[in-house]
Amino acid sequence: MATAIAILAAGKGTRMNSRRPKVLHEVGNAALLLHAWRISREIDPDLTVIVAGEGCDAIREFARASGISAEIAIQAVPGGTGHAVLAAQSKLAGFEGNLVVLYADTPFVRPATLRKMLLSAESGSAVSVLGFHASDPTGYGRLLLNGDGTLGKIVEHADATESERLVAYCNGGAVCASNRILAELLGEIGSGNAAGEVYLTDAVEVANRRGLICRAVECSEEETMGVNSRAELAAAESVFQNRARRDAMAAGATLADPNSTYFSFDTSLEADTVIEPNVVFGTGVTVREGARIRSFSYLEGCSIGANSVVGPYARIRPGTKLCRGARVGNFVEIKASRIGSGSKVPHLTYVGDSVVGEGSNFGAGTITCNYNGVSKNRTVVGDNVFLGSNTILVAPVEVGDGAMVAAGAVVTKDVPPGAVATSRERQVNRPGMAARLMKKLSRAKKD
């Protein structure tokens, strides 16, 4: 059966105290909305609708910039979760398949859980609701089961009786139902509750009155974690990082100190990579098999080749590719450059907008001057090149295969293959000059 996703993203998020929509705040360097959309893609929906309210322009622009393929429906006036699903119908007209309703501020639901909900719907459940057993159920809607284990109704905490509040089986938010039936059920719901809103959860009670079967699909409490404040955002970040660390180690990466390794939502570590303590991965990083990332390194938007070594104290910026067996040492910054197999950039060096061949070596303090104040220019270093310490390569410039550049050289012209380039003035020693100069400088300081 066809499947559609409705991602509810219209909440104001007033407790965030932010001008940005709540769902654009980030966990693992990805907006909450992006997490929800990525989860939904795993079940291959035929249609995705994002329901936005206040801040809809920012959400629409974010979706466009992030490559999110979804229709945007507008909930012009806040009216509750059921009202938001009805707002989504403007983009779901005529859709006859199952609709899965997700929340953009709940980033940890697993795709496998959504598949269980779809299976429940396909097995005869008119409305399937995500449920979990809460360690502290305060504030959550309660799932009240019938004697046969089907779901009788959901009662919000504010509307629950004292005995109902003792129930620990709680509403996880996500719902799966036939789009047509769910729209019909929501059309019968009033707003006579403590908040004066149309609750999506009331669809269960209406369905039961019709004699339809409703079920709860259980998941872990972690999957249902929502974000409504900065404190909850920080807690969600912790959950994300712990999950990413577990997944990385399960896939064969070694994390010497997992708690000091920080991942982004799209970090990819292959088997037998070794990550030393205090490493941070920005977005867009792939680390190939057998590579080692040493302590206090920061990587983003880059690819680290197999058996390469990075750091310690290295910064690898977007657009960088290290080929197999490359070495990048301490206090090195590399940006938008390709470092060939077996080449070494050991320490105290900046390489930007460059292409480096195989087996080349950068001496300490080497700098590529890639920016002239107006535009960026490219440096090309061939195979088996040796650059002496404190070499300055003023782009655009090319150093040919097998060439050498003497320490302290400022290279402004291309160096032919196999040549040795020098550009220092001849050294002149003046005997006895040091003492006289120091005396002169001392007198000047007193004056």
Structure tokens given for 7: 């991602």
Structure tokens given for 337: 């450059």
Structure tokens given for 393: 């390569």
Please enumerate, as own/partner, the contacts of 238-246 that have beta carbons within 8 Å and a separation of 24 or more.
239/108, 240/27, 240/28, 240/107, 240/108, 240/265, 241/28, 243/108, 244/28
Q: Catalytic: 133?
A: no
From the DSSP assignment, how many helices (H) and strands (E) are in the chain?
8, 38
Contact yes or no for 214/126 (Cβ under 8 A): yes
Measure the CA–CA gap between 310 and 321, rounded to whole angstroms.
Answer: 12
DSSP 121-164: HHTT-SEEEEEEE-SS-TTSPEEEE-TTS-EEEEE-GGG--TTG
DSSP 182-207: HHHHHHT----STT-S--GGGHHHHH
Measure the CA–CA gap between 168 and 7, rounded to whole angstroms.
Answer: 26
Q: How far apart are the first and last CA of the chain?
A: 91
Contact partners, residue 428, CB within 8 Å, separation at least 6? none
Q: What is the CA radius of gyration of the chain?
A: 30
- Helices 179-187 and 81-92: angle between axes, nearest 10 degrees: 130
Q: What angle do CA 160, 227, 279 make, to 5 degrees?
A: 145
| Residue of 359, 360, 363, 301 lying closest to 334 (CA atoms) | 301
Q: Which of 25, 35, 83, 347 is catalytic?
A: 347
Judged by DSSP in three states, 113 sits in: helix
Catalytic (active-site) positions:
347
